[in-house]
Amino acid sequence: MLSSNPNNVVHFDTLIIGSGLAGLSLALKLADKQKIGIATKKLLLDGASAWAQGGIAAVQSPDDSLADHIQDTQKAGAGLCDPVTTRFVVEQGANAVRWLIDQGVPFSKEENGTGEFHLTREGGHSHRRIIHAADATGKAVQQTLSEKVLSHPNITVLENHIAVDLITAKKLGLSEQRCLGAYILNSTTGDVLTVAANNTVLTTGGAGKVYLYTTNPDTATGDGIAMGWRAGCRVSNMEFMQFHPTCLYHPHAKSFLISEAVRGEGGLLKLPDGTRFMPWHDERGELAPRDVVARAIDYEMKKRGLDCVYLDISHQSESFLREHFPTIHARCLALGIDIAKQPIPVVPAMHFTCGGLMTDLNARTDIPDLYAIGETASTGLHGANRLASNSLLECLVFADSASKDILHKSMHAIPPLPNWDESRVTDADELVVISHNWDELRRFMWDYVGIVRTTKRLQRAHHRIKLLHEEINEYYRNFHVTSDLLELRNLVQTADLIVQSALSRHESRGLHFSKDYPTTLPNAIPTILQPKT
């Protein structure tokens, strides 16, 4: 769908697609020396980073150590964490946190008046090492950085702009492959913008909306992963979709997360009759890694026919809960749940995409001049299961390494780019096709590709995805693009990668649990998918 008209092309030194922590921090690290564009599909603060409650894991206490943080990460990752990447990220942790402090992020401090930052503990961690801003860390970080981004003269923010696809040299028939920019839809006007960039960075987050129940915002539709795959990038470990154990179970509480830190501060998981059940499943109890806790809850719910289980933190004082969990306390209270007096109804929900586009230590993908950071990328840090609060850390560390790599590169001349061609498409006649396919996809992914899997369920999902692919591609070829169509197209592509990866793993490891292959193989091997050229 390209034309030969090269007019009206916008140029940036670096185009960042996505406005989470990875995107904003990278923009600030580059903007003094480059012209930066940030394209975000809704508003600047609408991404998943702003929803992060728990905090950022980094070694900052004298009784903690880099070796312990590395070991905790590798243990949670079920042997699949890349050791070089893990050490690299953990070693940069303190510097990453210091940079945020220098930006003015208001992290919580101890009550003793020493000025020291309060560190909490979460599941899978052997020490208190989570720095946080009460129970709304992501929001505090994003608000602080967004103010700096919006005031910087070298940064242009394009809100309500969703990327359609990447522009690569290969697509233009050139011999040397590299990324040249992207086509971006202004979802307000319906116009498609041609953006040329010497560097393009995908920071679009994960793919939580591929599932019916998720803690992710509506923006998490796997856009960067799908675009990178279509452009020719390899993906890795897409079968490892992390389900957060404790999402608030309430008809009016869409996607509201009950932070891992609630269990870190003594919260206990209980059945409706008040009986604890986690000790039956793991000696670490409520502080076991997320995959263990999510499967335990799923098992107890299915075994007993329960709609939910309960997380009880009522043994803590109301003043403690208001101070440490003000957002959770207020949200639950508004729904008629006083967490100081009664347990919180919770269920597992899809939370984090551990796999993604394969990247190196500088966040480079397989395509020159194309980078991926954060949940869009598969760095090797998370392995088969992400350790709590390592995600924001990963965003910061790789934004820093990517910025250094970008600034040390020489700029390439960008050839004339063709504008988006809509001369052979029309307005869609029935939008119900998109909403129906979206609903069908999310329901069968939840039923067939959830916390516990079987080969037969995966094959059923694979068959349905193939049919959806054909229908959506036909729709894409014949009608004007819309935000809903682009998101659905990306979700179906991402779902296909998840199912392909799951079918190829003949074992149970970390977040991937198969009834047909319940044992764990002695060697941990990443799942790598290669696009057809």
**Which sequence positions are flagged as catalytic?**
290
Which domains does the chain show, CATH number per domain?
9-240+354-407 (3.50.50.60), 243-350 (3.90.700.10), 432-516 (1.20.58.100)
When the pLDDT of each residue in the chain is averaged and rounded to a whole number, the result is 92
Q: Which of 357, 361, 385 shows the shortest CA–CA distance to 17?
A: 357
| C-beta separation of 390 from 375 below 8 A | no
Confidence class for position 4, pLDDT limits 50, 70, 90: very low
- Which residues lie below 8 Å from residue 525, measured CB to CB, with a gap of 6+? none
Which residue bears the tokens 């796999």? Answer: 355
- Reading the block at residue 57, the tokens are 């894991």
Mean pLDDT over 18-43 rounds to 96
- Reading the block at residue 34, the tokens are 């480059």
pLDDT in tens, 226-242: 999 999 999 999 999 99
pTM above 0.85, yes or no: yes
SS3 content of the chain, % helix, strand, coil (to 5): 35, 20, 45
d(CA 148, CA 69): 31
CB neighbours (10 Å) of residue 8? 9
- Reading the block at residue 262, the tokens are 């609630």
> How remote is the C-alpha of 31 from its chain's centroid?
24
d(CA 374, CA 203): 6
pLDDT in tens, 299-356: 898 889 998 999 999 999 999 999 999 999 999 999 999 999 999 999 999 999 999 9
| C-beta separation of 38 from 155 below 8 A | yes
| C-beta separation of 183 from 171 below 8 A | no
CA distances 469 to 1, 204, 476, 511, Å, are: 18, 22, 10, 26
pLDDT of residue 533: 66
Letter string b/e over residues 498-510, b meaning 16 or more CB atoms within 10 A of that residue's CB: bbbbbbebebbbb
| C-beta separation of 344 from 263 below 8 A | no
Which residue bears the tokens 């003594």? Answer: 266
d(CA 286, CA 292): 9
Q: What secondary structure letter does DSSP report for 154?
A: T
Mean pLDDT over 117-125 rounds to 86
| C-beta separation of 487 from 434 below 8 A | no
| C-beta separation of 481 from 191 below 8 A | no
Residue 512, helix vs strand vs coil: strand
Is residue 370 over pLDDT 90? yes
Phi-psi region of 372 (alpha: psi -120 to 50; beta: other; left: phi over 0): beta
d(CA 491, CA 226): 8
Is residue 432 over pLDDT 80? no
pLDDT in tens, 147-205: 999 999 999 999 999 999 999 999 998 988 999 999 999 999 999 999 999 999 999 99
